[in-house]
Amino acid sequence: MIPSWRPDAGQARWLKVALFLLCLAPFVRLGWLAWHHGLGANPIEHITRATGWWTLTFLMITLTVTPARKLLSQPWLLRLRRMLGLFAFFYGSLHFTTYLWLDQFFDVGAIIKDVIKRPFITLGFSAFVLLIPLAATSTNAMVRRLGARRWQWLHQAVFVIGTLGVIHFWWLVKKDITEPLIFAAILSVLLGTRVVYRLRDTRPEARNRSVVRPYPRGRGAPSRGKA
Ligand code: HEM
């Protein structure tokens, strides 16, 4: 068993800064490539694909926090989850904006037609729409307003979003399905861990042991993250 480590306030701040810069790296890289004409023959396709890939990757990383926290007995990992989730939203917004602006030139009629006609766009669009309330309710104030239970219930939608994202990817690839298959496998494992935790938590002895503290140390974030 790995000994539980708890960063002090200074270490936690540095950890967050380092993680923020790391999460921003794919965006900086895209900007660098764009500036140096390194996005290939079809820059719009390059940006759409890169931002889509990073959206899905950040969704998976966000979903890994809870099992990692429990398996490694590192409760402080939970403090990084919000930033990771918001980066999923950030890359999702870039992905959608690229489509809206550079691909469709804000032609609302063409976009509506595309969303209705092409199933992979329908799924991507639905996933993005579902991400919006999760990003909007990510603040401590919103957690307090909704209450921990309702907040946790709402944020379980991240599994639906992940599933829609994986199918969206699967449907758009023409030949090699290796990558969507890897994402599907990761998502299945992450969903599987939640089922195991849920079954363990519903045992009477576990229910007696678990004390629900919605706002640890008065910070407003739920203490027993389910997502
Ligand atoms: C949570 C939301 C979304 C996720 C997770 C997601 C994920 C992805 C992924 C992984 C790819 C493929 C990247 C690659 O080829 O490596 C992709 C491509 C794409 N996505 Fe999304 N997407 C989302 C939302 C959307 C939305 C809202 C739209 C537009 C309405 C959209 C339109 C596209 C298009 C046009 C492509 C490129 C298709 C091609 O290359 O032929 N996506 N997306």
CA–CA gap between residue 133 and residue 139 (Å, rounded) = 11
Q: Within 6 Å (CB) of ligand 1, which residues are found? A: 45, 48-49, 52-53, 55-56, 92, 95-96, 99, 121, 124-125, 127-128, 131, 161, 165, 168-169, 172
- The pLDDT of residue 214 is 37
- Ligand 1 centre and the CA of 173: distance in Å? 10
For the residues 6-24, what does the mean pLDDT come to?
A: 94
pLDDT digits (tens, 9 = 90+) for 159-198: 999 999 999 999 999 889 999 999 999 999 999 999 998 8
- Ligand 1 centre and the CA of 172: distance in Å? 8
- Local confidence band at 223 (pLDDT 50, 70, 90 cut-offs): very low
- Ligand 1 centre and the CA of 87: distance in Å? 16
Tell me which residue of 136, 6, 137, 27 sits closest to 79, measured CA to CA: 6
Residue 23 CB neighbours (<10 A) = 20
pLDDT digits (tens, 9 = 90+) for 30-78: 999 999 999 999 999 999 999 999 999 999 999 999 999 999 999 999 9
From residue 111, alpha-carbon distances to 74, 92, 161, 174, 194 in Å are 45, 17, 21, 22, 36
- Ligand 1 centre and the CA of 48: distance in Å? 7
CA atoms within 13 A on the CB side of 184: 12
Is pLDDT of 149 > 60? yes
pLDDT digits (tens, 9 = 90+) for 100-147: 999 999 999 999 999 999 999 999 999 999 999 999 999 999 999 999
Whole-number percent of the chain with pLDDT over 70: 89
- Nearest-CA residue for atom 32 of ligand 1: 121
pLDDT digits (tens, 9 = 90+) for 93-106: 999 999 999 999 99
